[in-house]
Amino acid sequence: MSADEGWSASTESDPETESAESAAGAGAETPHKNARQEVIAVDENDESQGLVNRLDAHTGDGVRHRAFTCLVFDGEGRILLAQRAPTKRLWDTHWDGTVASHPVEGQSQKEATRQRLEEELGVTPDQYGDLRVTDKFEYKRYYENAGLEWEVCAVLKVTLDDTTLDPDEEEIAGMLWADYDHLHDHPAWYRQLRLCPWFEIAMRRDFA
């Protein structure tokens, strides 16, 4: 489905939550780095509702906010799976397809994606030419007792002409090229990878 064809919501909740005060470490001398950042709160139509503290958006009942995920392919139809670093507070060591983050105020989804591709993978704009937005959906998922994601998530795709990579180990612990059709058709065979929920939703919708 293209971005111009509209989008639908997919939400699911879990009772396990944690307050922002607890997640930041009440009384701790060094709060989590997310406590010093902001994300864009949005309504169900992805209209901005102002800025919200990033840690607050990801703890307690959460705050719906704007996000994106980018699926990175090579010329053979393989998707690059990237393992989230063990230092990530949410979905640490899970596998994503491929980068995901939050735009900052005044930044488009494409601009944010280009930035994260370079920062996380060392992929520069001269390595691709077809970055495009293909979908958008809302979802809500809790992660153990550490927090949650409640996002209106844009999906972007890009095919690399040059697959040279220089990953940032603080962001990415491992990488794996996988046949995209095979991954979708046989999810049980990849269960040991523990895929991130937003990627699983994006992939399921992509094949719908």
Q: Among all residues, which ones are annotated catalytic?
A: 151
* Residue keyed to tokens 């844009």: 154
Phi and psi for 38 in degrees, rounded to 5? -130, 150
> What DSSP string describes 44-101?
TT--EEEEEEHHHHTSTT---EEEEEEEEE-TTSEEEEEEEPTT-SSSTT-EESSEEE
> What DSSP string describes 129-178?
S--EEEEEEEEEEEETTTEEEEEEEEEEEEEBSS------TTTEEEEEEE
